[in-house]
Amino acid sequence: MTARQRTPQKSRSFSRRIRFKAPRERVFDAITTLDGLRGWCTPFVRGSGGTLRFEFEGLSQHIIMRVDEARPDSLVKWTCLTHSALAEWNNTSVVWDLRQTGRDQCELRLEHVGLNPGLECYDHCEVGWDHYLSSITGYVERGRGTPYRSSGKGVGEALKRRRPENSFGQRRNGARSLVNVEQEQTPHTIAGESEPAHP
């Protein structure tokens, strides 16, 4: 990652700009394919019928995002339908805006519309998003992200150092169970192409 900075808070929603030493097609694929999402966010993500379901090892929670738009190599929009641990996320939107800035270089502007500093979860969600943005950078530029794990490397470890929390700020309930993910037979990308999915 060449640069990561806070963007001015016009809407006061969480936002970041990140520059990648990679073509925007690679960043787009990391955001729009199940293998891509598994490489930097969580290994437990499924997609079906325009929705994505994110689950997290060791946590009894999930996030369901509806894919509202996926414009090849330029824009992706999600709406959070359900966050089982953070109701503040429900009906918020995540906007991924990509721009080519040079040969094999691009910039991503991420905005989580509705996630603002007035929410109790904001500080911890900010730590989580910053981790995931660093993870997607590692995945895109070096082929190695740091998806959520309840132990070891990843955002789980970063948040545990602050206090026992989940991937986006909700306190853990102490339960330690591996999320059971069934084998999927759904399209492999949210952009529409179909490939076999890998758990």
- Domains of the chain are 16-162 (3.30.530.20)
- Give yes or no for residue 56 having a pLDDT over 80: yes
pLDDT confidence tier of residue 149, bands split at 50, 70 and 90? confident
Task: Output the pTM of the full model.
Answer: 0.73
pLDDT at 12: 87
Residues 21-57 as b/e (b if ≥16 CB within 10 A, e otherwise) read: ebbbebbbbbbbbbebbbbbbbbbbbbeeebbbbbbb
pLDDT digits (tens, 9 = 90+) for 113-148: 999 999 999 999 999 999 999 999 999 999 999 999
**Looking at the chain, how many residues does it have?**
199
pLDDT at 151: 55
Question: In this prediction, what percent of the chain has a pLDDT beyond 90?
Answer: 68
At position 199, the amino acid (one-letter code) is: P
- Give yes or no for residue 71 having a pLDDT over 70: yes
pLDDT confidence tier of residue 67, bands split at 50, 70 and 90? very high
pLDDT at 153: 52
Which range is most confident: 51-55, 158-162, 166-170?
A: 51-55
Task: Give the mean model confidence (pLDDT) for residues 19-43.
Answer: 97
Q: What is the DSSP string of 18-48?
A: EEESS-HHHHHHHHHBHHHHHHHT-SEEEEE
Task: Give the mean model confidence (pLDDT) for residues 139-168.
Answer: 65
- Backbone dihedral angles phi then psi of residue 129, each to the nearest 5 degrees: -60, -45
pLDDT at 150: 65
Task: Give the mean model confidence (pLDDT) for residues 66-91.
Answer: 97
Question: In this prediction, what percent of the chain has a pLDDT beyond 70?
Answer: 69
pLDDT digits (tens, 9 = 90+) for 2-14: 444 444 444 489 9
